[in-house]
Amino acid sequence: MDFLTLFCIYVLVVLTCIALVCKYSGQECTPFSRLYSLFTRVISPLIPQRIQYICHRTVHRLFHQRNHFFIYLHIILEAVVYGEYSYEVVGYCLEMDTTLFNVCVPYVLLVLKSYIFYLCCSRDPGTLTKKNHAAQLKVYQYDETLFQKGVLCPTCHLEKPARSKHCGICNRCVQRFDHHCVWVNNCIGAQNTRFFLLYLLSVCAMAGDIAVLTADMMFHTVVRSGIMHASYTDEQGQQQPVGALFVVQRLFMAFPRIVFMLGFLVFVFFLLAGYFMFHCYLALVNQTSNEWFKRKGRGCQHCNPVSGHRCLATYNPLRGFYHRGFLKNVGEIFWPLCPEQKKDN
């Protein structure tokens, strides 16, 4: 089995895993949880208790406590990509008559992304405190389905404002809670959602720009080499024209690191572009990830068309309870509501 086949299998497995995660995200009982439970029951008797304890503690620290591991991993992956781009791709691009401006654009995007990444990591997402609690209770109206008046946070001992949630990882209640992002080691809430969206956009722009420059460089390399007009002798001794698969294999042999980097960038671009589009949709309809997952497939048990009872927040995927119009919804992301700007429902 050659390297190209192994790489294709790897990409297929990764894409399949992503598709399954997207399909079953937000569900308590999934094939992943059942498979993990079965794996644990089978393997646990064979693994010493000490090793099980270390593994459990490591996983808990990575995903259930604030830590900088994924920030460091993010920086390492970025350094590897830019190192390869600077070491090999830039020189080839200049030889292919790519303008200096186009070659330097990824570095400009890197500076811009790094600043946005810093803001996303360091800015307070909108922590609820005793000082601002009374004011935050007035920002959003309770929908009486997901957010009900009078519910206390058992940890913070404060009444939960509508759209807030207690983050068990950060141990704080966050205004307009969206999710906790391990890559920025911070919650995404009312005060930093705009930075998170810009962060996703900047990473997509970086990956896309380097991928385009790299693909253009490799395309010109293939054209200049004349390999597309070449032929080879098959097992029957017949001359056959080379195809796309043969060209890709030759590129793997000539530029293994560059081709692998290109595959990684394309994978990252489509993954984050899809995630960015999902969050753009949420911004347009004024929902959060937390609300979307909770509302998905959920209906109100108290709605009764016979008696005429109807909840304030009947789920509509195109128009959420806090929908105020697309422009106002997007404006709310970049200019979070203050108590005096209470939303009209």
* Cα 172 from Cα 156, distance rounded (Å): 7
The shares of helix, strand and coil residues in the chain, as percent rounded to the nearest 5, are 60, 5, 35
82: Cα within 13 Å, side-chain hemisphere: 16
Buried b or exposed e, range 4-16, using 16+ CB within 10 angstroms: eeebeeeeeeeee
DSSP 228: G
The candidate with the shortest Cα–Cα distance to 120, out of 206, 208, 179, is 179
* Cα 293 from Cα 286, distance rounded (Å): 14
* Cα 97 from Cα 204, distance rounded (Å): 25
Token pair belonging to 335: 């200019």
The candidate with the shortest Cα–Cα distance to 262, out of 11, 20, 70, 91, is 11
303 is catalytic: no
**289 and 196 Cβ atoms separated by less than 8 Å:** no
The candidate with the shortest Cα–Cα distance to 79, out of 116, 105, 110, is 110
Residue 118 neighbours by CB distance under 10 Å = 13
**188 and 119 Cβ atoms separated by less than 8 Å:** no
* Cα 4 from Cα 130, distance rounded (Å): 59
Token pair belonging to 241: 């024209």
Q: Which of 93, 181, 187, 204 is catalytic?
A: 181
CA dihedral angle for residue 331, residue 334, residue 339, residue 343, rounded to 10 degrees: 20
**242 and 231 Cβ atoms separated by less than 8 Å:** yes
AA identity, residue 144: E
Residues noted as catalytic: 181
